[in-house]
Chain A
């Protein structure tokens, strides 16, 4: 048994490919837990960042600077009355949030956090991701229909039309990136998520810079389409608050509603990681060609630790700025403790064996975080599209450009 467990450690592959059930389960638990924590962190960050965009403070009461707000929210949602409308189709109403949740969490199977840090690597990885993530539209439609109410119905109709339209432009952009993977000696491309990043490593260029500006445009199209795909502002028509009160989840409350939210945020992270994998070099560190040599390798390997130390410093600045009043004593201690934990993590990340293993994950997460920030930024800046304009943008603007980029990429690939 112990041999079975330790035998994987010497293998240089993902646990799924190694067929090691124990490590697969461990990875699944780590990924599931990590994503859940990331969703909670994202929830807090969105509320704080959005608040600061809008000259507010955001959550400040639960814990220092509202750090415990996601936990308080979760407790509130768990203990809330779970309402199923009497006219609703109970079974479908019950299943819909689960479908969304499953669809958005299943895609994490193939997301490569590092060359071996994935649950498994499928040879059709990207197809699997696009296919499974678009299953969530089913949950949206079911939720809207089962609620047996007008606003959710309109919301879910909008949502299905929107997700299907934007998937096409998204697919075209993805194909242009996949074409780029075939630009090697053998001329065979790959659909495997790990393979796509390795192709970027071999060609020594992130695909966003490949055939400039083709890769860049493709990433732009994907970045727009993925916002529409995850129903976020400015494409948040299915849940347009000012028009449809809450769109397809108007009738949902408590735990079921929180499952929708969990699914939505998980889907945001998932599609962002597709973008990172396809165009931004996945787990590869920046400037691998220009800033080479052992010194730079060391500098880049120390960055994860330093970034955590910076976060810790941030927390300690907060501690210093806390009001000196007995009322805030617990909050101050809590914030100091949080900073200490962050600092400790930072120090642990300096230990050489940890340092080498964590680096891939760090860069991947950092790149995804940039996209997460952009999501918040868009939400604070843009008004909402109208339904027909949304369709127009999808079909008349994004799709032709995506096809053009695809054709040009193919031509460039043949020429080069």
Chain B
């Protein structure tokens, strides 16, 4: 790894080009009410004409104190709260939390529960990527993919709704396994979806992948090197698009990901187009995992034996999973009581957002929007 202070050198604000036409720099506020900042992100842009000289992110408009709330809830009671962080990938958040507490309690979810977890988590990854694609394309000016992706995401949400009654903040898993057995026809629904969605993904690609304007807007935009990614702790598709083959599902397998056969797509240039291609490929790989899981799903219990009143032994645990946006980690300190002493969440969006500045410096205003889109941030998770 490079010297952690090395990346600071190019964070210094560059001097604007001084010419006789030189005008004053323009400071504009992008957000918190802005159509393309994905919620309530506020970016203060320092502009020279259209050129971005520097950015500063102001966050906290959606701060709800999730981590503090955890200290006053039992382990079980806190479970639904994590769904409200990354609300477009609520299932992943729940999985991360449940597994972290299970690790703390030293219990193992039964195999069937793991399969259900993997199917739902991967479906959620697909839903999250579809939402990302739609909004990202909308930011770049292509309106139509948004509606196509939302149409197909709907099918996933229907499966969630049938499974646990909720579409967005699902609260699908419990500590020790799953609360609900799959409904009748769950496997049929999932298989139907697996046949339904690949042509739709091709359809999105048809609209964008070889589109001249899309290529111009995304190639060489928001470039970030692998070294910078590592220095900033950027994970997920952003890191993989820079050429680093790092996926926690493979590197530190959790649930039962080690049983499945799938590829980790990586990019070369680390630009917006590579991130787009990586995510498109990830959608297909998710489908592969779901297909394997739904074919091999075993019978058996779905809940491990967990004490009704959870009092984990004194200690601390860090457990991370590969959420759609990157590494989602939970650091839980237990003091032996029913409530965690401290819960710290390592949200991928928050960490990835730090890369915004070096990605857009020297670029144009339109690129800021494209880069915010490509980082795939969810402000609920950034602010918590």
Q: Is the CB of A240 within 8 A of B366?
A: yes
| Interchain pairs with CB closer than 8 A, number | 86
5 intermolecular pairs with C-beta atoms under 8 Å apart: A154-B28, A383-B208, A385-B141, A385-B213, A386-B364
- Among candidates A158, A245, A384, A387, residue contacting B141 with C-beta atoms closer than 8 Å: A384
Q: Is the CB–CB distance between B217 and A384 below 8 Å?
A: yes
Interface-central residue, B50, B139, B148, by most chain A CB under 10 Å? B50
Q: Is A388 an interface residue (CB 8 A)?
A: yes
| Cβ contact within 8 Å between B140 and A384 | yes
A236 to B151, CA, bound (A): 26
B contacts, CB < 8 Å to A: 26, 28-29, 34-36, 50, 137-144, 146-148, 151, 207-208, 211, 213-214, 216-217, 364-369
A385, closest chain B residue (CB): B213
Residues of A within 8 A of B28 (CB): 150-151, 154
Residue in chain A with minimal CB distance to B37 = A242
CB contacts (< 8 Å) of A380 on chain B: these are 143-144
Given contact pairs A150-B26, A384-B217, A240 touches B364 in the complex (Cβ within 8 A): no
Most B Cβ at <10 Å: residue of A54, A237, A241, A383: A383
Binding site for B on A (CB under 8 A): 50, 53-56, 150-151, 154, 158, 233-234, 236-237, 240-245, 379-389
The 8 Å CB contact of B143, one of A54, A150, A245, A385, is A54
Give the contacting residue for B36; candidates A53, A154, A242, A388; CB below 8 A.
Answer: A242
Given A150-B28, A383-B211, A385-B217 in contact, is the A236-B141 Cβ separation under 8 Å? Answer: yes
Question: Chain A contacts of B139 at CB under 8 A?
Answer: 242
Nearest chain B CB to A238 CB, angstrom units: 12
A55 with B216: CB separation less than 8 A: no
Q: Given that A54-B144, A243-B366 are known contacts, is A384 also in contact with B213, CB under 8 Å in the complex?
A: yes
> Are the CB atoms of A243 and B211 closer together than 8 Å?
no
Partner of A387, one of B144, B151, B208, B366: B366
Q: Roughly how many angstroms separate A264 CA and B207 CA in the complex, as a whole number?
A: 27
Asked whether A383 lies within 8 Å of B364 as measured between CB atoms, the reply is no
A141 to chain B, nearest CB (A): 16
Other A-B contacts than A387-B365, A388-B50, 5 sampled, CB-CB below 8 A, are A150-B28, A154-B26, A236-B141, A242-B140, A383-B141
Of chain B, the residue at the smallest CB distance from A50 is B143
C-alpha gap A234/B142 in the complex (Å): 9
Which residue from chain B places its CB closest to the CB of A389 in the assembled complex? B216
A240 B141 Cβ-Cβ under 8 A: yes
Whole-angstrom distance between the alpha carbons of A2 and B138 in the complex? 60
Given that A383-B211, A383-B214 are known contacts, is A55 also in contact with B369, CB under 8 Å in the complex? no
B147 touches A154 (CB 8 A): no
Which single residue of chain B is at the shortest CB-CB distance from A237? Answer: B366
Docked-complex contact A154 and B141, CB < 8 angstroms? no
Contact A53/B144 with A154-B50, A383-B137, A383-B217 known, Cβ cut-off 8 Å: yes
Would B211 and A154 count as touching, CB distance under 8 A?
Answer: no
In the complex, the chain A residue whose C-beta lies closest to that of B367 is A386
Nearest-neighbour CB distance to chain A for B33, whole angstroms, equals 9
| Cross-interface CB contact of A242 among B26, B35, B147, B207, cutoff 8 Å | B35
Contact partner of A234 (CB less than 8 A), chosen from B141, B144, B365, is B141
Shortest B136–chain A CB gap in Å is: 10
Name the B residues within 8 Å of A53 (CB-CB). Answer: 144
* B366 x A55 contact (CB < 8 A): no
**Inter-subunit contact A55/B141 (CB<8 Å):** no
Measured in the bound complex, the distance between the Cα atoms of B34 and A150 in whole Å is: 13
Docked Cα-Cα span, A314 to B29, in Å, equals 49
Q: Is A245 a contact partner of B34 (Cβ separation < 8 A)? A: yes
In the complex, what residues of B have CB within 8 A of residue A55's CB? 147-148, 151
Q: How many Å lie between the Cα of A50 and that of B146 in the bound state?
A: 13
Q: Could you tell me if B35 and A54 are in contact, using CB atoms closer than 8 angstroms?
A: no
Q: A382 and B213: CB pair below 8 A?
A: yes
A-chain residues with CB within 8 Å of residue B138 when the two chains form the complex: 242
Whether B34 and A386, one on each chain, are in contact in the complex, defined by CB atoms closer than 8 angstroms, is: no
Separation in Å of the A108 CB from the closest CB of chain B? 30
Which residue on chain B has the smallest CB distance to residue A388? B364
Query: With A and B bound together, what is the CA distance between A202 and B36 in angstroms?
Result: 54
What is the distance, in angstroms, from B299's C-beta to the closest C-beta of chain A?
Answer: 40
CA of A244 to CA of B30, assembled, Å: 9
How far does the alpha carbon of A55 sit from the alpha carbon of B147 in the complex, in Å? Answer: 7
Report how far A240 CA is from B146 CA in the complex, Å. 17
Question: How many angstroms between the C-alpha atoms of A237 and B146 in the bound complex?
Answer: 20
Known: A55-B148, A150-B26, A243-B36. A382 touches B142 (CB 8 A): yes
- A383-B214, A386-B217, A386-B366 known; A242 vs B50 contact (CB < 8 Å): no
Complex contact A385–B144 (CB within 8 A):
no
A53 CA to B142 CA, complexed, in Å: 12
**Quick check: B151 and A383 within 8 Å, CB to CB?**
no
Q: Which residues of B contact A154 (CB under 8 A)?
A: 26, 28, 50, 365
Question: Do the beta carbons of A242 and B369 come within 8 Å of each other?
Answer: yes
A233, A234, A382 pick with most chain B CB within 10 angstroms: A382
> Inside 8 A of B144's CB, which chain A residues have their CB?
53-54, 380-381
Q: Is the CB of A383 within 8 A of B36?
A: no
Q: Nearest CB to that of A392 among chain B residues?
A: B216
State the Cβ distance, A370 to closest chain B Cβ, in Å.
21
Q: Determine the chain B residues whose CB is within 8 A of the CB of A233 once the complex forms.
A: 141
CB-CB under 8 A from A388, the residues of chain B are 50, 364
Interface centre among B137, B138, B139 (most CB of A within 10 A): B139
Nearest Cβ distance between residue A387 and chain B, in whole angstroms? Answer: 6
Beta-carbon nearest neighbor of A233 in chain B: B141
B141 touches A56 (CB 8 A): no
Of A236, A237, A242, A382, the most chain B CB neighbours within 10 A belong to A242
CB of B213 within 8 A of CB of A241, answer no
**B216 pairs with A385, CB closer than 8 A:** yes
Inter-subunit contact A379/B143 (CB<8 Å) = yes
Least distance between B43 CB and chain A CB atoms (Å):
12
Would B137 and A387 count as touching, CB distance under 8 A? no
Which residues of A sit under 8 angstroms from B146, Cβ to Cβ? 54
Q: What A residues does B50 contact at CB under 8 A?
A: 154, 158, 387-388
Contacts of B36 in A (CB 8 A): 242-243
Task: Write the nearest CB–CB distance from B275 to chain A, whole angstroms.
Answer: 16
Asked whether A382 lies within 8 Å of B211 as measured between CB atoms, the reply is: yes
The CA of A401 and the CA of B364, in the complex, are separated in Å by 27
**B216–A386 CB distance below 8 A:** yes
State A158–B365 Cα separation when bound (angstroms): 12
Task: Report the Cα distance A154→B364, complex, angstroms.
Answer: 12
On whether the beta carbons of A242 and B216 are closer than 8 Å, the reply is: no
Minimal beta-carbon separation of B205 from chain A (angstroms):
14
* 8 smallest beta-carbon distances between A and B, as pairs: A384-B141, A242-B36, A383-B142, A54-B147, A383-B141, A150-B28, A386-B366, A383-B140
CB pair A242–B141 under 8 Å, yes or no, is yes
B133 to chain A, nearest CB (A): 12
